[in-house]
């Protein structure tokens, strides 16, 4: 069962969770043996951008020592053989078309989206 | 795969925050009445849907006592759905994400709910005729 996780919601509780919950879920399912890929769309296209840094959160004497590292988590998916697509049109809408992306992330134009989806048995839109 | 129609649902929303939760229960209800095998993976806030310590309350704005108000408790609706599925020859298998339970202190779930992981979701989806993801949205 070849599955595509489409991630649209971005930075939802990532500080609390110390990751993105669907990127994390993708890691877990991949680890269980799933044949799964990712498509980033909407605000989640920013997950593909290099140089993200969520460090520095502190409340009083409490300091977050393990902030989310979305860039690392995406790169780690790639290293496990997960194809990570990013919707090129959504990059452009956010002025990110010329921004360096994580090596290996594949830009997908919207007119190629339907053909991409047809290559999967399941499409889960988060 | 089970010979009966088998459907998997992934839910993410906490109770009382979104109409998506009620919609999910409506869909499960239809499927339960059809005798389908229903598999639910509750992720993140959705693990609170089956939290056993949910309590009904009075509502002074409505001018009703707790008994009169008959406040909607998702845990009771889900228990009723499980009974409904069984009555029609199906079943409801509800799996809560264990880590999501831990970070919320939501370990006390109603009877029949089991603890699991995203791997369970993948296995359930793989053994289903179809899967519907109902995620949290901004």
Residues A36 and A26 sit within 8 Å (Cβ to Cβ): yes
Percent of chain B with pLDDT over 70: 99
Min distance B50 CA to chain A CA atoms (Å):
20
Residues B121 and A36 sit within 8 Å (Cβ to Cβ): no
pLDDT score at B3: 82
| B1 located within any domain | no
CATH number reported for the structural domain that contains residue A14 in this entry = 3.40.1260.10
Is a pLDDT exceeding 80 seen at residue B1? Answer: no
CATH number reported for the structural domain that contains residue B105 in this entry = 3.40.1260.10
Count of structural domains, chain A: 1
Is a pLDDT exceeding 80 seen at residue A2? Answer: yes
> At A114, phi and psi to the nearest 5?
-60, -45
Q: Which residue range is the domain that position A118 belongs to? A: 2-125
CA A105, CA A50: separation in Å to the nearest integer? 11
- Selected residue of B12, B116, B119 to mutate for chain A interface (largest A Cβ count, 10 A): B119
Q: What is the mean pLDDT of residues B128-137?
A: 96
Cβ distance B125 to A1 less than 8 Å, yes or no, reads: yes
Residues B44 and B20 sit within 8 Å (Cβ to Cβ): no
Instruction: Compare B108 and B59 and report the one with higher pLDDT.
Output: B108
Q: Which residue range is the domain that position B20 belongs to? A: 6-134
Min distance B76 CA to chain A CA atoms (Å):
27
| pTM of the shown model | 0.90
Name the DSSP class of B8: E
Q: What is the ipTM of this complex?
A: 0.83
> At A76, phi and psi to the nearest 5?
-65, -40
């Amino acid at each position: 069962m070849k599955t595509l996780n489409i991630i649209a919601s971005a930075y939802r509780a990532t500080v609390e969770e110390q990751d993105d919950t669907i990127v994390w879920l993708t890691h877990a399912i991949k680890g269980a043996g799933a044949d799964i890929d990712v498509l980033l769309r909407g605000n989640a296209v920013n997950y593909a951008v290099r140089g993200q840094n969520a460090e520095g959160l502190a409340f009083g004497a409490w300091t977050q020592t393990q902030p989310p590292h979305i860039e690392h988590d995406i790169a780690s998916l790639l290293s496990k053989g997960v194809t990570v697509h990013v919707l090129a049109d959504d990059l452009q809408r956010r002025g990110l078309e010329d921004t360096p992306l994580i090596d290996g992330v594949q830009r997908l134009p919207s007119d190629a989206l339907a053909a991409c989806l047809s290559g999967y048995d399941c499409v889960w839109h988060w | 795969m089970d010979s009966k129609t088998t459907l998997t649902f992934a839910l993410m929303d906490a109770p009382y925050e979104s109409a998506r939760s009620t919609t999910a229960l409506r869909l499960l209800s239809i499927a339960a009445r059809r005798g389908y095998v229903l598999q639910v993976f509750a992720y993140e806030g959705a693990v609170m849907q089956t939290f056993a310590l949910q309590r009904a309350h009075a509502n002074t704005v409505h001018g009703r006592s707790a008994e009169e108000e008959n406040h909607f408790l998702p845990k009771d609706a889900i228990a009723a759905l499980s009974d409904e599925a069984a009555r029609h020859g199906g079943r409801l298998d509800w799996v809560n994400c264990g880590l999501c339970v831990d970070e919320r202190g939501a370990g006390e779930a109603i009877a029949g709910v089991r603890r699991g992981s995203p791997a369970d979701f993948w296995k359930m989806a793989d053994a289903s005729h179809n899967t519907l993801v109902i995620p949290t949205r901004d």
